[in-house]
Amino acid sequence: MKLSTIVQELRLTPLVELHEQEVTDAYASDLLSDVVGHAHAGTLLITIQVHRNVVAVASLVGLSAVVIAQGRQPEEDVLAAARENQVNLLSAPSSAFTLAGRLYQLGLRAPGE
């Protein structure tokens, strides 16, 4: 599924300029060690983790996008890192639970499911 489709359907707010990506699956976690262990290239991550390592891990794993739930706002240095590393960073006022439910309705599944 195209990232732009998801952005439209869920009315996500881009926090940086987006680069179109194919979203293969989705994962929800706030522990970045867990993300490294279970997500892979193409995974969309839903999280409330706004430490700048969310960008480092997204870049390392090759996540298609990171959606910050619950309206949390990352600091400017996190946004700068996302721009520099071309990481698609978005936000939504909804909870991680609701976002995951809506992505599931759109047909996305967790990695390996």
Helix (H) or strand (E) holding 98: helix 96-105
Q: Does 56 bind another protein (CB under 8 A)?
A: yes
Q: Does 49 bind another protein (CB under 8 A)?
A: yes
Residues 6+ apart with CB under 8 A from 9: 102, 106
Contact code string over 58-87 relative to another protein, x by CB under 8 A: --x---------------------------
In the beta sheet, which residues pair with residue 89?
66
Residues of this chain that bind another protein (CB under 8 A): 31-33, 35-36, 49, 51-53, 56-57, 60
